[in-house]
Amino acid sequence: MATTNLSNYDINSVPSAKEMHFGIVVSEWNNEITEALYNGAYQTLIMHGAKPENIIKDYVPGTFELTYGAKSFVENYNFDAVIVLGCVIQGETRHFDFICEGVAIGITDINRKYDTPVIFGVLTTNNQQQAQDRAGGKHGNKGDEAGVTAIKMAAFRNRQITK
């Protein structure tokens, strides 16, 4: 939301990520934005204790492919959480709608099917400026928010497993 800074949160509400493992799947499309999102997520994980060697990053060509990337990470690694990072900017055709809906449904389906939280860190903006504003600009960084969410959901998952 335009009224919320994506990088503002109560630091004390975030558990330690010291023993956690994370996968981050990054879309190559809109690379300037997605790399900024990655840097935000990565730095947030590190700030909360995640070890660099416990954070695996890989790329997919576009936002639509994030679903496959997330599914592959969930099936082939033992991550506590997976973050997907992408950026879709509205154009003149309905392509935007199909991509946004497809990836949202795809990530939701993975979260239903598997026991590893997959965090939706995809910007869906009307223009480049809105994307920049949410990738480290005046509205903070969606990557920071995705990192915090990944840690909290990993802790939630781990609490459920130990019950």
Active site residue 95: yes
Residues 116-145, mean pLDDT to the nearest whole number: 96
Q: Percent of the chain beyond pLDDT 90?
A: 85
Contact call for residues 155 and 19 (beta carbons, < 8 A):
no
Q: How far does CA 151 lie from the centroid of its chain?
A: 11
* For the chain, domain boundaries: 41-161
pLDDT at position 91, please? 80
pLDDT, one tens digit per residue, over 33-85 is 999 999 999 999 999 999 999 999 999 999 999 999 999 999 999 999 999 99
Q: Which CATH class is domain 41-161?
A: alpha beta
Strands 135-137 and 140-141: antiparallel
Q: Give residue 161's pLDDT band: very low, low, confident or very high (50, 70, 90).
A: confident
For residue 132, the tally of other CB atoms under 10 A from its CB is: 18
Which candidate in 21, 48, 95, 139 is catalytic?
Answer: 95
